Amino acid sequence: RRFGCSVCGKRFWEAALLMRHQRCHTEERPFRCGVCGRGFLRSWYLRQHKVVHTGERAYKCALCGKRFAQSSSLAEHQR
């Protein structure tokens, strides 16, 4: 692993991965919610956040029919 973070020492195979990682040490949040303006480190975090505004519950339990906004919540429910 050739690319090391100067703040925490974590190492990466690619420079792009190091650059993405370094955002966690700064205030940089390039993915912004168009509704509330909250910023996120990764686009995936923004997609998860958007359900706060839409109320969408795309994940449905096959056993009881209960719906969840996040797949992790459905998985926890099914345990």
Q: How many domains does the chain have?
A: 2
**Residue ranges making up the domain that contains 58:** 33-79
CA distance 76 to 78: 5
- What's the pTM? 0.65
Does residue 1 surpass a pLDDT of 90? no
What does the pLDDT look like over 20-77, one tens digit per residue?
999 999 989 999 999 999 999 999 999 989 999 999 999 999 999 999 998 999 999 9
Does residue 18 surpass a pLDDT of 80? yes
Measured CA to CA in angstroms, residue 59 lies from 35, 40, 49, 68, 71 at distances of: 23, 23, 15, 5, 6
Tokens of 5: 């973070």
Q: Are residues 24 and 37 in the same domain?
A: no
Q: Are residues 48 and 74 in the same domain?
A: yes
Name the pLDDT band for 2 (thresholds 50, 70, 90).
very high
